[in-house]
Amino acid sequence: MALAHVASLRSEDPFRKVGAAALDHDNRVIATAYNGLAPGFVAPLGFWEDREKRQKFMLHAEVNLCSLFKRGEAKIVATTTMPCTACMQTLCAYGIKEVYYRDVYQQSDAPEIAETYGVKLMQVADFPHA
């Protein structure tokens, strides 16, 4: 969880900084990622001022994380915020077996998706906050 927190500090998003870390089946860290814009994209002037307008362009930490490994390579993901519905679906598609998160995200169906796919989803609140 501490690695996910450190990754979140790299996010350019002034409203929500999310980080994630992936561990393989031997509990070795294989990737870290954070929410942000597509690599190489330079945000135009004023981009960060309108949260609603820019939100659809943000790539979530979990999506960025999954782009760094192949399906089945990672077993555990730690993320600073509970995955949104789409990110939880993505984590399941990549074969993740355990997801640990720090902060609750109310607008998510992650608990139901995790239960359906047999993925352990657990809040871990005793780690650093951004």
Residue 129, pLDDT > 70, answer no
- Tell me if 128 is assigned to some domain: no
Question: For residue 28, what pLDDT band results from cuts at 50, 70 and 90?
Answer: very high
Summarised one tens digit per residue, pLDDT across range 67-89 is 999 999 999 999 999 999 999 99
**CATH number for 12:** 3.40.140.10
Closest CA to 77 of 9, 11, 29: 29
Q: In which domain, by residue range, is 19 found? A: 2-123
- Tell me if 118 is assigned to some domain: yes
- Give the bridge partners for 33, in sequence order: 20
- Tell me if 24 is assigned to some domain: yes
85-93 and 110-117 are packed helices; what angle lies between their axes, rounded to 10 degrees?
20
- Tell me if 40 is assigned to some domain: yes
Residue 93, pLDDT > 90, answer yes
Which residues 6+ apart lie within 8 Å of 115 measured at CB? Answer: 121
Chain position carrying tokens 């657990």: 122
* Domains held by the chain: number: 1
Q: b vs e for 38-59, b when ≥16 Cβ sit within 10 Å of the residue's Cβ? A: eeeeeeeeeeeeeeeebeeebb
